[in-house]
Amino acid sequence: MNFLAHIYLASPNEDWMIGNFIADAVKGKSYQLYEKKIAEGILMHRFIDHFTDTHPLVKDCTSLLRNDLKKFAPVALDVYFDYFLAKNWQQYHQQTLADFAQNAYQLFNCNFEKLPIRNQQLLPYMVKQNWLLNYATISGIEKTLNGMAQRTTHGQILQGGEKHLIYFEEQLQINFKLFFKDLTKEIEQYKKAI
């Protein structure tokens, strides 16, 4: 799961959305330095990642991509899954994706001082290029993967990675829908237990 799925799954709780947005920049036990609800969002993000990484359907998808994308197959798959969520957004949320994205950007900007430096640096690019909305298109996925390729050590293999999404789209989408149904149920239980 990439930014869109994490923010979606944490909504409508704004602190959980912030926590999910910043979680990759918060290492180890440093989540304890954040406000309680934001810390819960960080831990929720980690729960989502663990559930995703260990799910059999996700492992099947990763194996489809492994030959071409090597160790970056799970990274690309996270982006592909945001594509399927964005492309089929009306099946998951009453609000338009454009409105959801703008509300998320506004939330993060209003809480800018709470964000780690990494997210503070990333947010202006995210807003300007409208990442959350652009996940819904192949060209948006191309830009996302090319940007990741430039920012990631040895990540050049991600450049042009949208071609694997196009090639495997039907099978990946079938698996995504089944997996995301499982994840949504699991995260609803997780939220109730907090």
Identify whether 51 is part of a domain. no
pLDDT at residue 193 greater than cutoff 80: yes
Domain count across the chain: 1
Supply the mean pLDDT for the chain: 96
Residue 92 lies in a domain: yes
Local confidence band at 154 (pLDDT 50, 70, 90 cut-offs): confident
1 pLDDT above the threshold of 80? no
Q: 15 in a domain, yes or no?
A: no
Q: Express each pLDDT in 5-58 by its tens digit.
A: 999 999 999 999 999 999 999 999 999 999 999 999 999 999 999 999 999 999
Angle (CA) 174-146-111 rounded to 5° is 85
The neighbour count for residue 100, using CB atoms within 10 Å, is: 21
Domain encompassing residue 146: 56-193
In a domain, 4, yes or no: no
Crossing angle (nearest 10°) for helices 14-22 and 3-10: 150
Write the CB contacts of 8 (distance below 8 Å, at least 6 apart in sequence): 85, 92, 93, 100
| pTM score above 0.85 | yes
CA distance 13 to 17: 6
pLDDT value at position 34? Answer: 97
Flag whether 74 is in a domain.
yes
pLDDT digits (tens, 9 = 90+) for 47-67: 999 999 999 999 999 999 999
Let me know if residue 8 belongs to a domain.
no
pLDDT tens-digit profile of 90-108? 999 999 999 999 999 999 9
Find, among 74, 55, 54, the residue nearest to 63 by Cα.
74
Residues of the chain above pLDDT 90, percent: 94
In a domain, 47, yes or no: no
Residue 41 within a domain = no
What integer pLDDT is reported at residue 160 of this predicted model?
A: 93
Residue-level pLDDT at 20:
98
